[in-house]
Amino acid sequence: MSGHTAGPWVAEPADMFGDHNIIRGDGLELLAIAAVVSNMRPSKEVHANARLVAAAPTLLEACEGIEGVLLDGIMNCPERLAKARDQLRTAIELAKTGGAA
């Protein structure tokens, strides 16, 4: 743990100002971790920014997995490489779509 709030994180729907709160996605805590403020930006852009922020813990975990495989040598750990690849793909999908298929 690097001191940040444990994931998963999710972006709440926009409030009446167009802002999104980022909260834990496991329902254990409803306090906001972060907020993505619209500041008059287009709502699609603000929503995409909120998804990207909410994906941060998953993206960090995927990057750490890839780093571990690279440090150990790709050819020495094909199973870990496959797992890290899948984590990375999941993290990218989460950042882009919020997990919706």
In whole angstroms, how far apart are CA 19 and each of 1, 11, 52, 58, 91? 28, 10, 14, 22, 23
Query: Which SS3 state, helix, strand or coil, does residue 52 take?
Result: helix
What residues contact residue 33 under an 8 Å CB cut-off, 6+ apart?
5, 9, 22, 23, 24
What pLDDT shows up at residue 56?
92
- The strand ranges marked E within the chain are 9-11, 20-24, 34-36
- With cut-offs at 50, 70 and 90, classify the pLDDT of residue 1: very low
The yes-or-no verdict on residue 19 having pLDDT over 90 is yes
pLDDT digits (tens, 9 = 90+) for 31-85: 999 999 999 999 999 999 999 999 999 888 888 888 877 777 776 777 878 888 8
What pLDDT shows up at residue 96?
84
What pLDDT shows up at residue 29?
80
